[in-house]
Structure 1
């Protein structure tokens, strides 16, 4: 189904701004799976309108309006998610070479080790009521540790990155401006070290990445790329793990299937992305020319919002779409049909890493904690009031007796 609504402008912090921080003109909502896939792959629907001569692009302008310093905003606005060809093509080509399947596969033993280390320390985080917050003590630290490993951040500096990641996700300029200042300086300093002394890590690969026609990444592009990887590689994976665990704990029959047959975990991860993935909508698109989506006429300059959450529950694509079924793709031997990682040229660069981390996390957690259970009723779970996402603030659970 394709709908239209009229957006308005509100002061920063207004609850309705959280729902739509752009405001100002009508937005087409695209909700059917096939239409969403079309929007996400149509080059006529750009990530932003052309900025006026000497002006800011729409993403930088939005960040500045929210209080991010103008000289720092490009570090967030200039990443792959916000760019169109030819810049997107050039940047993606450079980073794809560095983000190889070999590098991700080689990281799996370390992912397993980090996961086991976190599980061993979970009992130390149990509060006076006998519960432990799996967001803070498991889902959050796992992916930030892994992305730091991938980038080559020294172990003694990783607590800094954990703090910076929290500050970045806060959308509070009082925290984001100091974070962007500190992290950009850190990235450039570490990059200089890697230029002088290359290592087998992603940052070295990014520093060395070069295209014959377009050269290397600029300093601003390098900072934006690393921030994009940290945000996408950490925040999204952390919320996938916590959302997925909450879904399993509130669907005991599905949890029992996974316990009985761990081979179902890879398919279960894809079903959890479809059913409760943290990304509810894609980034806004802007029509470069008149076009048609789902029978609706989209005029040049109008904005289009692809709703990933509804596309992933489209009954025309998925049988019984509101039912969580971890066996949905078992034995099909084909790629999942969900759009939880987007689609087309903006398909998530770190999808394979996110899948790997979630698979390792669920496999190890269910093996070690057979008595795992929610410590609150499902109705008591709290969700953050952030735009375009569905993420938990906390996930209190009882660990139960560990498996011998």
Structure 2
């Protein structure tokens, strides 16, 4: 195919509504070129092709798949997570870590998440106008991670600061946050070696494979770092979900009347407006054909999740938000697919379901208070602020 479409990532329509902007290009071609000044990358746009690509070993992660941060040298070994490795090394790490992140484990964590949610919402009592991002959506995942890792309660405000720095995506802020996260994780691991508790670090310290293999200290710290990075997803997901639901009052009313609809509503939010717009780029190890598009060897390729999750070949009426959407043979790709399917998917779902259920129950008059502030980012659909009114004020 000679006429490969291009998508300009700095285009206003792509930045402000990628879900709509990608649509016409997806209908023209299963793949396109994403371009920006000094940058170009291939993107798979259709659901079936995207799903296959994420499981195809001809598309491999490499050091060039990741942006490197300017952090102290002693921190660097702790930042190489299993998300960055392939083949036998990835399988080994996944085998050791996966038992701590099953849906059953996530369900067992719900009571603890409910307490953390209630603590945050208690702090909002008496307030009328807040920014839901900074007051609730952003700190909750950090609090959950601290509980999972065993970070002392006295240190959790500092970890919230780390989470805010990472969420901002500022290079200097990241460099400032990393040493504190590494030191805190090392301290928590040492404490759990002496005093095991009912948390993920304690469980991972106990896990040992049949051949005697187990995670080393550096690998445990790297996992904590991966959790902190991954914690941005439920934070963005919660904020996105509130904005979407408040913009669809009929469906919000259904959800209030029947909280059993919440799991399906969360899945629909992830499909309709996934926080992750693009997957981590992989590189072709040989010439690969996506439909009639030939991608040469050595080229970076991503999945445009925003396009694949709105593919009419996979989802009926894909541009319609519907919390009652019936499960079908296709599934959204908000957590990717294949060997690198998001390790914390069940935990992110649990956090989001608990958070939304409690928020809607506690504040029945919850309403938008002006326009949300969204960060223009071609890779992530996220809010920097979501002003809301928690309750209706009654005039004297």
- Hey, what does 1:205 align to over in structure 2? 203
Q: What count of residue pairs does the alignment treat as equivalent?
A: 369
- Hey, what does 2:297 align to over in structure 1? 300
Q: Secondary structure at the match of 1:86?
A: helix
Equivalent residues in 2 for 1:80-99 (5 A)?
80-99=82-101
Q: Secondary structure at the match of 1:393?
A: strand
Stretches of structure 1 that go unaligned for 5 or more consecutive residues are: 9-14, 49-56
Q: Secondary structure at the match of 1:144?
A: helix
Residue pair 1:275, 1:312 contacting (<8 A) in 2 also: yes
Q: Secondary structure at the match of 2:278?
A: coil
Residue pair 1:6, 1:25 contacting (<8 A) in 2 also: no
- Pick closer, same or farther for the CA change 1:155–1:252 going to 2, 3 Å: same
Residue pair 2:274, 2:305 contacting (<8 A) in 1 also: no
Report the Cα offset of residue 314 of structure 1: 0.8
Q: Secondary structure at the match of 1:324?
A: coil
- Please say if 1:246 is aligned against 2:243: yes
2:54 corresponds to which of 11, 34, 40: 40
1:223 corresponds to which of 221, 224, 244: 221
- Pick closer, same or farther for the CA change 1:369–1:302 going to 2, 3 Å: same
TM-score by length of 1: 0.83
- Hey, what does 2:268 align to over in structure 1? 271
- Pick closer, same or farther for the CA change 1:173–1:324 going to 2, 3 Å: same
- Hey, what does 1:52 align to over in structure 2? none
- Hey, what does 1:370 align to over in structure 2? 364
Stretches of structure 2 that go unaligned for 5 or more consecutive residues are: 10-14, 16-33
Q: Secondary structure at the match of 1:246?
A: helix
- 1:96-132 per-position Cα deviation (integer Å, ceiling 9, x unaligned): 12334443222111222222232232134x4xxx521
- Pick closer, same or farther for the CA change 1:72–1:335 going to 2, 3 Å: farther
- Pick closer, same or farther for the CA change 1:22–1:347 going to 2, 3 Å: farther
- Hey, what does 2:374 align to over in structure 1? 383
Report the Cα offset of residue 348 of structure 1: 1.1
Equivalent residues in 2 for 1:3-402 (5 A)?
5=6, 26-48=40-62, 57-59=63-65, 62-64=67-69, 67-76=70-79, 78-124=80-126, 126=127, 130-211=128-209, 215-232=213-230, 234-329=231-326, 332=327, 337-376=331-370, 380-401=371-392
Cα separation, 2, equivalents of 1:112 and 1:257: 22
TM-score by length of 2: 0.85
Residue pair 2:117, 2:140 contacting (<8 A) in 1 also: yes
- Pick closer, same or farther for the CA change 1:146–1:34 going to 2, 3 Å: same
Q: Secondary structure at the match of 2:41?
A: strand
Report the Cα offset of residue 30 of structure 1: 0.8
CA RMSD of aligned residues (A): 2.8
Cα separation, 2, equivalents of 1:278 and 1:157: 28
Cα separation, 2, equivalents of 1:219 and 1:71: 14
Residue pair 1:81, 1:346 contacting (<8 A) in 2 also: yes
- 1:316-342 per-position Cα deviation (integer Å, ceiling 9, x unaligned): 11111111111112xx4x687111111
